[in-house]
Copies of this chain bind each other. A is one copy, B any other.
């Protein structure tokens, strides 16, 4: 009751100055991000299945129950990590294939975007690579869902290629899946690469493989 009155008074006068409310919001945002970062780090050690709320909050320096001010449960935090991992990658890849007149250039650019993205979000993609086959269903499904979006967007873009315009939907889907799967394995290879030389080999090999697929396409009869 007292709190209620306090809040009302705050609206009329200045019991909570706007700059202070902003600072509080900012601090809340920072704590939320700190929980995500701590979660990502702990997942790297024990996998998502081994994550404990108590451990995350200890890491961030808040009491366990305060976790619920930021996330409904650990799964919600995990799903946010999945979303953070993929971030704007899909849009970036899509932009790279806006101009489809030069196949080779689209392929080279796509592989390079992937390579840079994975290297910028290394820990995130290690989380994805691991949880893609892990035991926590809700996370595994979220990752599969993200990859399906890649596939369906790519299938749509592929249908604009003159040579593919007559293809039935399931063949476009299979082709898009082949390309996305190849990119997934490339990303996992990049995460595991021991040296700059290894990375370059993987990038070159991925470009070559995608070119093989695309050349195949032009000759595939349904």
Contacts and interface: CB of A to CB of B under 8 A. Distances in A.
Interface string A126-158: 100110111100001000100000000000000
A174 B212 contact: yes
A133 B132 contact: yes
A212 B220 contact: yes
Interface stretch (A8-16, A34-42, A56-64, A177-185): A177-185
A166 B199 CA distance: 27
Name the residue among A44, A135, A178, A185 with the largest chain B CB count within 10 angstroms.
Answer: A178
B188 A133 contact: yes
Main secondary structure of the interface of A (DSSP, over half): helix
A174 B46 contact: no
Oligomer: number of copies: 2
Chain A residues touching B, range: 35 or more
Given A175-B212, A178-B212, A220-B215, A133 B140 contact: no
Residue among A184, A209, A217, A221 facing the most chain B CB atoms (10 A cut-off) = A209
A215 B216 contact: yes
Contacts of A49: 46-47
17 contacts: A46-B50, A47-B49, A47-B50, A47-B134, A50-B50, A130-B130, A144-B192, A174-B208, A177-B209, A181-B185, A184-B185, A211-B220, A212-B220, A215-B220, A215-B221, A218-B219, A219-B219
